[in-house]
Structures are given as C-alpha cells and as structure tokens.
Amino acid sequence: MLKLNKIKKQLICYAATGALSTLLMCPGIAQAQIKINPLVIEKEARQGKAQGVINITNTSTKTFRARVYALPFTYNQDKFEELKSSSQDLTPFLTFSPRELVLQPGQTRQIRVSSRFLPSSKKGEYRAVIFTEDLEEIKTINGNQNIGLTPRIGVTVYVRHGDVAPNLKVESASYNPQTKKIVLKVKNSGNATARPEVAWNLTNSAAKVADGKAEAYTVIATGERNIEIDLPANKKEISAGKYQLTGELTWNDGDKKKTLPFNVNVTIPDKVATTENK
C-alpha cells in the first residue's frame, strides 16, 4: 500500500491578462463558488486619500469562509508575480475590513478598502493585490501524493499618488511556434500602469490574412509585457514568410481614452512551417 505524502498548495488562476491583471478561482473548482466585483480597482489619491469597495457574493449552496489579506505584486513580461517587497508597495498605506468573511449561500458582503499616504510619501503609483482565500482546502490525490489546494481570488488595486501617467510603445512582434500565437512586445516607460486592448490586422504582400482583438493585458509601470495574439482556428497553420502586423492599442487613462497605432513586421520561419505541416 502506497503511503500518501501530504502537500499543501495555494491555487491561483489567471484570467488571461493574466490578461486582465485579475486572479480568478479556477472554473473547475466547485467547492465554494463566489463572485467578486470589481476585479481591478484603479484610484487617484486626493489629499493623500483614496477609497474603494469590493463586493463578494456566495453563489454556491454551501457556507463560504475566507480570510482576506494583501500583498505587493507586479507583472513581468509574461505573468502576474507576487513580491516580498517593492518600492511601489501599497500595503503600508492600505487598510481594509473585514479581514475574515463568513457568507451564507446567496449572501453578499463588502470589503471596504482605503489608502492614506503620508505628506512625505514619494509620488508615484502604488499597487497591492487583495486576496480572498478559502479556509476550506480542496483535497485531491496525484499519484502517491495527497494534495490540499487552497483556492483564492485576487483583486488588484492601483492608487496613483501625484501626477503620473503611462507611456506605451510597441517594440516588436514575433511568432511562437509552440503556442502558434503572435507575441506583441509592449514597453511602458511611464510611471503608471496601463491595461490596453489590442485590435490587429495581419497582412502579407498579397492580401489580409487575419484580424481580431486581444483582451486587456496589464503593462506595468516602467515594465514590459508580451501580449499574445491568438490567430483564428483556420489560420493556425500559417505559411512561412514575411507579414505586416498593424493595429491599435486602446486603454483608459483616468477618464480619458488613449490610443496608440502600431505597424511592425512578423516573420514566420521556413523551419516552423515545415515542422507544423508534417
């Protein structure tokens, strides 16, 4: 008889931003289904203060018990990343209540969030992710290991302290033969985060090959992000050659909508096309 090793893991799933800069409970987990709104909070501090509200609803038929806590975070080129410390850490200036939740089936509660900066606080964008973590583990067995999974949902919070703004630039585009997606590299040299959506067109010397939209990706302040463009199903086996990728990034900057057109080259190597067509 095999001896089961007990492992405890925290389970976070990313809504494509990742794409969204939001962290979602995996859809396959039915132990405690909850709905959280909003998943992203963006505020501008006025007289050093900012406030927000997170609504949490238990949509399951079981009682939901959770703890609430905050951590600093960033996004690297490809994904969300928790941090132990950061110069943009909002948590020293952040308060929220309650820190423990008990929701009966169908019940909705609010987490009230506020930040207060000191007069000496450096101007800039500050960030934290507020996690709601289920206190009940999900048990599963993988081989000879008994794994306890702890699902949690994160709401990302961005507070602008002072005059800050993003500054986006499309650097390049490439093709990933493993995922069969085009990767658009976007740089943000500004001191505030942006979450652009992408409208794109792919053409070659003959005609338009494909077009579409990519949902919002988080491009962190002073960072870079690889935005994945998913080709239509009938264009996955794209022919080798040189292509032109044109389009527009669109994002909200406060109450203003910003746009950035782009035009970059994409090359599909011969060996990629040959391998995929075998």
pLDDT tens digits, 75-93: 999 999 999 999 999 999 9
All structural domains of the chain, each given as residue ranges with its CATH number in brackets, are 34-161 (2.60.40.10), 168-268 (2.60.40.10)
Instruction: Read off the pTM.
Output: 0.84
Cα separation of 275 and 278, whole Å?
6
Q: Which two tokens stand for residue 154?
A: 């994160």
List pLDDT tens digits, range 27-64.
444 344 889 999 999 999 999 999 999 999 999 999 99
> Facing residues of 184 across strands?
173, 227
**Other beta carbons within 10 Å of 223:** 17
Provide the percentage of residues in the chain whose pLDDT is more than 90. Answer: 68
Please answer whether residues 12 and 152 qualify as being in contact, where contact means their C-beta atoms are separated by less than 8 angstroms.
Answer: yes
Chain centroid to Cα 172, Å, comes to: 21
pLDDT band at 5 (very low <50, low <70, confident <90, very high): very low
131: enclosing H helix or E strand: strand 124-134
Q: Which residue has the tokens 């020293």?
A: 92
More confident residue, 108 or 205: 108
pLDDT at 254 (0 to 100): 82
H or E segment at 207?
A: none
